[in-house]
């Protein structure tokens, strides 16, 4: 009886550990939970690597403000030629709402969105 119980617990532990996956899968990150969509055209931004997500984002300071920033979590995979932290880019696409950053401490004035990029170029 003890052997059966021990085998069952060991099996459950292995199955549970094997099912843990990293949430930074780009395909999972592109599932908006709201209907908010804001098309954007020819905006300037900076490529950054979000340490919590371990994913590249497009960071954009809002003109006319000193602390407002839009952060676009890129849907899909950013082309290799743009995976340079600090690269300045011009982009067009769609910001989609519903993104919740996993870090509990978010900087005031920072808004996170899913970002579907239609066009991107280095400046």
- For residue 77, what are the domain limits? 23-122
* Nearest Cα to Cα of residue 78 among 103, 39, 99, 48: 48
Q: What is the pLDDT, as a whole number, of residue 69?
A: 94
Q: What is the total count of domains within the chain?
A: 1
Q: Tell me what the mean pLDDT of segment 29-49 comes to.
A: 87
Any domain includes 1: no
* Residues 32-46, mean pLDDT to the nearest whole number: 89
What pTM was computed for the model?
Answer: 0.73
| Confidence band, pLDDT 50/70/90 cuts, at residue 5 | very low
Task: Tell whether 3 is covered by a domain.
Answer: no
Q: Please, are residues 78 and 29 in contact by the beta-carbon 8 Å criterion?
A: no
Measure the CA–CA gap between 52 and 44, rounded to whole angstroms: 23
The contacts of residue 86 (CB under 8 Å, 6+ apart) are 46, 47, 48
């Amino acid at each position: 009886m003890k052997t059966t119980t021990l085998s069952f617990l060991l099996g459950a532990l292995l199955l549970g550990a094997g099912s843990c996956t990293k949430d930074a899968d780009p395909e999972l990150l592109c599932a908006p939970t709201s209907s908010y969509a804001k098309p954007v055209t020819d905006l300037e931004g900076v490529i950054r690597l979000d340490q919590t997500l371990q994913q590249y984002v497009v960071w954009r300071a809002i003109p006319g403000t000193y602390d407002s920033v839009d952060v676009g979590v890129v849907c899909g995979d950013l082309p290799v030629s743009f995976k340079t932290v600090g690269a300045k880019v011009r982009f067009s696409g769609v910001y989609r709402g519903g993104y919740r950053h996993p870090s509990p401490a978010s900087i005031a004035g920072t808004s996170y969105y899913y970002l579907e990029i239609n066009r991107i170029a280095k400046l």
